[in-house]
A and B are shown apart, each in its own frame.
Chain A
Amino acid sequence: MGAEAKGVLQVDFQVRLGARELEVRLDTESPAVAVFGPSGGGKSTLLRVLAGVERRARGSVRVRGRLWMDSDEGVFLPPWERRVGWVPQEYLLFPHLRVRENLSFAGATLQEVQEVGELLMVDHLLDRRPRGLSGGEQQRVALGRALLAKPRMLLLDEPFSALDRPLRSHVASRLRGYVQERGLLLLLVSHDEADAVALAQEHWLLSEGGLERVE
Chain B
Amino acid sequence: MFRLPVRAVAGLFVFSLLLSGAQPRTLSGKAPSLMEPPDSALLVLAAASLADVLPRVAQLWTDAGGIPVRFSFDATSRLAPQTLQGVPADLFFSADQRWMDWVAERGALRDDTRVDLLGNEIVVVVPRDGGKKLLGPDDLMGPSIRHIAMAGENVPAGRYGLAALEATGVWGQVADRVVRGGNVRGALEWVALGEVEAGVVYRTDATAEERVRVAFTFAPETYPLISYPVAVLVQAPLPGTALAFLEFCQSDGATRVFQEAGFLSLRPGPTGHSEVTQLPRESGSPLLPSPWSAIRLSFLVALAATLAGFVPAVWLGWILARKDFFGKSVIATVALVPLVLPPVVTGFILLSILGTQSPVGARLAALGLPIPFTLLGAILAALTVGFPLYVVSVRNAFQAVDSSYEEVAWTLGRRPWPTFVRVTFPLALPGIAAGAVLAFARALGEFGATVVLAGNVEGSTRTIALAVYTLLESPQGREAIWVLVGASVVLSLVALLGFEALSRHQRRQMGARHGR
| B182, chain A: closest CB distance, angstroms | 47
CB pair B405–A106 under 8 Å, yes or no, is no
| B323, chain A: closest CB distance, angstroms | 13
| CA A90 to CA B404, docked complex, whole Å | 10
Q: Is B366 part of the contact surface with A, judged by Cβ < 8 Å?
A: no
CB pair B410–A94 under 8 Å, yes or no, is no
Interface size on A, residues (CB 8 A): 31
CB pair A107–B413 under 8 Å, yes or no, is yes
| B361, chain A: closest CB distance, angstroms | 44
User: Within the complex, which residue of B408, B410, B413, B509 is in contact with A96, where a contact is CB–CB below 8 Å?
Assistant: B509
User: Given the complex, which residues of B lie within 8 Å of A149, measured CB to CB?
Assistant: 411-413
| CA A107 to CA B412, docked complex, whole Å | 9
CB pair B513–A79 under 8 Å, yes or no, is no
Number of A-B residue pairs, CB cutoff 8 Å, is 72
Residue-wise, chain B 492-516 has the 8 Å CB interface mask toward A (1 for contact) of: 0000000000000000011011111
Residue-wise, chain A 81-100 has the 8 Å CB interface mask toward B (1 for contact) of: 01111101010101110000
User: Given the complex, which residues of A lie within 8 Å of B451, measured CB to CB?
Assistant: none
Q: Is A172 part of the contact surface with B, judged by Cβ < 8 Å?
A: no
Across the interface, name the chain A residue whose C-beta is closest to B403.
A53
Question: Given the interface contacts A131-B515, A138-B516, A162-B516, does A96 sit within 8 Å of B411 by beta carbon?
Answer: no
Interface size on B, residues (CB 8 A): 23
CB pair A82–B409 under 8 Å, yes or no, is no
Q: Is A203 part of the contact surface with B, judged by Cβ < 8 Å?
A: no
User: Given the complex, which residues of A lie within 8 Å of B404, measured CB to CB?
Assistant: 88, 90, 92
| CA A95 to CA B515, docked complex, whole Å | 10
CB pair A95–B412 under 8 Å, yes or no, is no
Interface residues of B (CB under 8 A from A): 402, 404-405, 407-415, 422-423, 426-427, 509-510, 512-516
Interface residues of A (CB under 8 A from B): 48, 51-53, 78-80, 82-86, 88, 90, 92, 94-96, 105-107, 130-131, 133-135, 138, 145-146, 149, 162
Query: Could you jot down 25 A-B contacts, CB within 8 Å?
Result: A48-B407, A51-B411, A52-B410, A52-B411, A53-B410, A78-B415, A80-B411, A80-B412, A83-B413, A84-B411, A92-B402, A92-B408, A94-B408, A94-B409, A94-B427, A95-B513, A96-B426, A105-B409, A105-B414, A105-B422, A106-B414, A130-B512, A131-B512, A133-B515, A149-B411
Sorted nearest first, the 8 A-B pairs with minimum C-beta distance are A135-B516, A79-B410, A53-B407, A131-B512, A106-B412, A86-B411, A149-B412, A79-B411
